[in-house]
Amino acid sequence: MQNAMEDDRFQQFNKVKLSNGASITKNLLENTSNEKKTHKSKQPTNQLKSGLLGWYAVCSIREISGDDPYFFTMFNEPLMIYKDKDSNLRCIKDLCPHRGASFRGGQIIDGELVCPYHGAKFSSTGKCTNLSRITCNHIVDSNYNNYATKIHLYQYLCKEVGDYIFINYTGSSSTNLEEIEVKENIDSKILNTYGFKTEEYKFEEVIVDFKCDWARIVENHLDILHLFWVHGETIPDADVNRNVITSFNQEITRDSNQIESKYKYKEKDKGEFIRIKFLPPGRIIIYKGNPEESRYIQVLDHIPLAKNQARVIVRHYRKFLKNNFFNSLILFKNLQHRIFYKVFAEDYMILRTQTFNDQMGYIEKDNVKLLGEDKMIQYYWDWYKNSLNEDKPWDIHPIKSDTNSVHQELAMLYPPENKILAEKNNREIVVKLIARLIIPIGLAFLLI
């Protein structure tokens, strides 16, 4: 029923588009004039609960090792994650509440964060524990409470789930975590909520940063058509290559948590090609068949670091090749990473030239035409535009021409354009191959 309604709405939208194609495309993506508002009422309503502010998987748990904090940015805002003395994860604004220094270059001593500028120390709850260090003792003595409440870390809610660290990014950090309003339960972002049994899988992961618009990368990962052309030579699947021209029956469903599209071959005997699930704001899940039975799941998390800077965490979960010894023998991890990096480099070739584009409305109205296969992308842009109008995440910590952008530059840890990651991986493959040859040859010599 839901599908029928969705299809109906889309048919309606298409009819309007056909009779007045250019203006409706523009109208769907821009929403400022009265005339546009009239058209907007004909659009599919945005049923998704989550907007651009909400739960994001911002890094893998492996990024937080030992006492090393993890620095990053979200919508331009410098942030940091570390483990406090009780091993609780804390996500804080990277700003010391004494005189505004960054904690880069600071220390974590016995689970307490120490500012590199004047040595203020902060407890797990964010309270300064050595006020006397940063102001005269007698002032502290007479006015302790006043200082203690002011000199306090600003925090975001932070949780570890499924080897990911999630933060509830609201754009407004708080000195009191209890006061933070959580609009949506984190369960709506978690794979097991949708029937995937992640405990039955092994996974490989890579992280790559892009210098391009966050929204464009998400769009790219919702786009199945480009797989055949851009990645046709790289994806190890005989059905995905440049010579395959295929079209699919799409079955799109939306509820308050997700948009999902199932792509089925038009030839009935060929069955299903793939399913794509979008869990806003930043998560995409790609798999085949029912979630409980899928042999393979791809999970992509998109993190809006800053304007035209975004991070993607890609995980490939598999139910096959689970033997660690065998995998290490065949260099499975390195070989899979090789494919990841190649796929990213191919995407980056396209995405890097689409950097300035908050919205498809930027493109002249007659320049683009979304086709039938772009239906999911249309729904995505529909959500994005609504969320952008409502949440305005880029207006919270705007970068002006004279803003020091050092945090944004430092946040780029895994840039794809300099090929360092791919080259490092290739070197590892060569070294491991040589090691695998030398050891048996050495043993053979010893035996002789």
134 binds ligand FES (CB under 6 A): yes
Q: Which of residues 109-168 bind Fe ion (CB under 5 A)?
A: none
Whole-angstrom Cα distance, residue 222 to residue 283? 11
99 binds ligand FES (CB under 6 A): yes
Dihedral over alpha carbons 351, 356, 361, 366 (to 10 degrees):
-70
Q: Count the neighbouring beta carbons within 10 Å of the beta carbon of residue 441.
A: 10
64 binds ligand FES (CB under 6 A): no
Least CB distance from residue 155 to ligand FES, whole Å? 16
Q: Count the neighbouring beta carbons within 10 Å of the beta carbon of residue 395.
A: 10
Least CB distance from residue 220 to Fe ion, whole Å? 5
Q: Which residues of 338-375 are buried (b: 16+ CB within 10 A; e: fewer)?
A: bbbbebbbbbbeebeebeebbebbeeebeeeebeeebb
Task: Please compute, for residue 326, the number of CA atoms within 13 A of its CA located in the half-sphere on the CB side.
Answer: 4
Amino acid at residue number 26:
K
Instruction: Identify the three-state secondary structure at position 96.
Output: coil
Binding pattern to Fe ion, positions 303-342, x when CB under 5 A? Answer: ----------------------------------------
Residue 355: DSSP 8-state: -
Residue 96 interacts with, from ligand FES, Fe ion, none (CB under 5-8 Å by kind): ligand FES
Q: Are 279 and 382 in contact (CB under 8 A)?
A: no
Reduced 3-state DSSP string for 123-153 = CCCCEECCHHHHCCHHHHHHHHHHHHHHCEC
Least CB distance from residue 346 to Fe ion, whole Å? 7
Least CB distance from residue 397 to ligand FES, whole Å? 19
Whole-angstrom Cα distance, residue 150 to residue 132? 14
101 binds ligand FES (CB under 6 A): yes
117 binds ligand FES (CB under 6 A): yes
Residue 347 interacts with, from ligand FES, Fe ion, none (CB under 5-8 Å by kind): Fe ion
Least CB distance from residue 155 to Fe ion, whole Å? 35
Candidate list 48, 115, 218, 343; residue touching ligand FES; CB under 6 A? 115
Candidate list 77, 347, 374, 382; residue touching Fe ion; CB under 5 A? 347
Residue 153 interacts with, from Fe ion, ligand FES, none (CB under 5-8 Å by kind): none
Q: Are 340 and 409 in contact (CB under 8 A)?
A: no
Give the residue closest to Fe ion by C-beta. Answer: 347
Whole-angstrom Cα distance, residue 199 to residue 183? 28
Residue 117 interacts with, from ligand FES, Fe ion, none (CB under 5-8 Å by kind): ligand FES
Candidate list 9, 49, 104, 118; residue touching ligand FES; CB under 6 A? 118
Least CB distance from residue 65 to Fe ion, whole Å? 30
Candidate list 98, 216, 221, 262; residue touching ligand FES; CB under 6 A? 98
Least CB distance from residue 100 to ligand FES, whole Å? 6
Place of tokens 């909520």: 193
Q: Which is nearer to Fe ion, 186 or 225 (CB)?
A: 225
Whole-angstrom Cα distance, residue 429 to residue 341? 14
Binding pattern to Fe ion, positions 243-282, x when CB under 5 A? Answer: ----------------------------------------
Dump the DSSP string for 390-411: HH-GGGTSPPPTTS--HHHHHH
Backbone phi, then psi, for 213, in 5-degree steps? Answer: -65, 130
Residue 365: DSSP 8-state: T
Q: Which is nearer to Fe ion, 115 or 286 (CB)?
A: 286
Q: Which is nearer to ligand FES, 98 or 275 (CB)?
A: 98
Site for ligand FES, rule CB under 6 A: 96, 98-99, 101, 115, 117-120, 134
Site for Fe ion, rule CB under 5 A: 347
